[in-house]
């Protein structure tokens, strides 16, 4: 294995199975909702959101936001900046924020604070991966694919300095 190649953490097959399970849970939880708005957080969410949204058995719409926090470093500064806002009005709508990974939780906390004042009917969070031991918030993520250790992970939409996003599996890289 080249030193550049990420070490396998979650296989394609395990990802496929877990995303299908998450889609079933979310479809059942929102069974009575006419239109669930999935808000993907660019860029990391794009593959997870594509897979998850196509397996939902309920009416749904999709919009995106983009934020920036880490720059090229792998340590959270806690400073989140909004790069792109929603195009959709969310007052009275059921909103589910979908992100690739939650680490400290600062990014999702920022997004929740940005969206709550717009008066959605409900506002929940869904992430594919969670670094449980790093999470610093006093609230819980509503839907989590996998809990992982404190490693820098790539693939399935996640990058390290913009590399490895399209790897089909989740791998860990050495990062500083
Ligand atoms: P938080 O604000 O500390 O929760 O960080 C969340 C954001 O940091 C995610 O949306 C990712 O963009 C990025 N991030 C955190 N850990 C990783 C990782 O291991 N790989 C790739 N991106 C990560
Ligand atoms: Mg992200």
Q: Which domain holds residue 85?
A: 12-26+34-151
Ligand that lies nearest to the alpha carbon of residue 173, given by its number in the listed order: 1
The predicted-structure confidence for 114-151, as pLDDT tens digits, reads as follows 999 999 999 999 999 999 999 999 999 999 999 999 99
Closest CA to 58 of 88, 26, 91, 89: 26
Q: Work out how many domains the chain is built from and give that number.
A: 1
The pLDDT score that the predictor gives to residue 42 is 96
The predicted-structure confidence for 20-37, as pLDDT tens digits, reads as follows 999 999 999 999 999 999
Q: Which residues pair with 143 in a beta bridge?
A: 126
Q: Helix (H) and strand (E) counts for the chain?
A: 3, 9
Could you give the residue numbers annotated as active site? Answer: 103
What residue owns the CA closest to ligand 1's atom 5? Answer: 103
Helix (H, G, I), strand (E, B) or coil at 173: strand
- Ligand 1 center to 91 CA (angstroms): 28
Q: Which of 79, 83, 158, 166 to mutate to test the pocket of ligand 1 (most atoms within 8 A of CB)?
A: 158
Residue 164 lies in a domain: no
Structure confidence at residue 79 as a pLDDT band (50, 70, 90): confident
The predicted-structure confidence for 103-121, as pLDDT tens digits, reads as follows 999 999 999 999 999 999 9
The predicted-structure confidence for 149-161, as pLDDT tens digits, reads as follows 999 999 999 999 9
Ligand that lies nearest to the alpha carbon of residue 149, given by its number in the listed order: 1
Tell whether the model's pLDDT for residue 54 goes beyond 80.
yes
Do 52 and 96 contact (CB within 8 A), yes or no?
Answer: no
The pLDDT score that the predictor gives to residue 74 is 64
Closest CA to 30 of 111, 122, 113: 122
| Nearest atom within ligand 1 for CA of residue 160 | 21
Q: List the CATH number of the domain containing 93.
A: 3.40.50.2020
Residue 157 lies in a domain: no
| Nearest atom within ligand 1 for CA of residue 44 | 12
What residue owns the CA closest to ligand 1's atom 19? Answer: 152
What residue owns the CA closest to ligand 1's atom 12? Answer: 44
The pLDDT score that the predictor gives to residue 175 is 61
Residue 136 lies in a domain: yes
Residue 50 lies in a domain: yes
């Amino acid at each position: 294995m080249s030193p550049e190649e990420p070490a396998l953490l979650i296989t394609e097959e395990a990802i496929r199975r877990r995303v299908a399970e998450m889609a079933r849970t979310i479809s059942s939880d929102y069974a009575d909702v006419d239109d669930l708005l999935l808000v993907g957080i660019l860029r990391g969410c794009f593959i997870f959101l594509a897979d998850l949204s196509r397996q939902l058995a309920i009416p749904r719409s999709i919009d995106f936001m983009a934020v920036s926090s880490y720059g090229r470093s792998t340590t959270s500064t806690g400073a989140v900046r909004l790069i792109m806002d929603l195009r959709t009005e969310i007052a009275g709508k059921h909103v589910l924020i979908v992100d690739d990974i939650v680490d400290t939780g600062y990014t999702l906390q920022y997004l929740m604070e940005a969206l709550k004042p717009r008066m959605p009917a409900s506002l929940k969070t869904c992430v594919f991966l969670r670094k449980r031991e790093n999470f610093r918030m006093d609230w819980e993520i509503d839907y989590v694919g996998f809990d992982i250790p404190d490693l820098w992970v790539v693939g399935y939409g996640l990058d390290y300095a913009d590399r490895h996003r399209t790897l089909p599996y989740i791998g860990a890289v050495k990062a500083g």
